[in-house]
Amino acid sequence: MKKHWNITVQGRVQGVWYRASTQEKAHELGLTGFVQNQPDGSVYIEAEGTGEVLEAFLSWCHRGPLLARVDQVLVQEGEVQGYREFEQRR
């Protein structure tokens, strides 16, 4: 069954290829949704997929790309939106 997660990643996550790496990982796992930078320096993600795949994605979000420093990851379950792909937003 498909689930929808709203994920906020805090730390040094802007300017370190976090969005591009997130999109790559989501494509690799077959997730849909989007990733975008937030004015407060965090990165916001909406991801949809099965629970097992979302868990693997969340585990990756805690690490992020090589140059990132992740301090905190907040997750909230939401309503499935039916995204067709996973995109990077500004």
Q: Which of 37, 63, 69, 89 is catalytic?
A: 37
Q: Would the pTM count as exceeding 0.85?
A: yes
- The mean pLDDT value of the chain amounts to 97
6: annotated active-site residue: no
φ, ψ dihedrals at 37, nearest 5°: -75, 150
Strand ranges for 1-90 from DSSP E: 2-12, 32-37, 43-50, 69-78, 86-89
Q: Is the Cβ–Cβ distance between 68 and 18 less than 8 Å?
A: yes
Looking at 6, 12, 19, 63, which residue is catalytic? 19
CATH class of 2-80: alpha beta
The answer to whether 84 is a known catalytic residue is no
Identify the pLDDT of residue 82. Answer: 97
Residue type, 1: M
Please write the tens of the pLDDT for every residue from 23-67.
Answer: 999 999 999 999 999 999 999 999 999 999 999 999 999 999 999
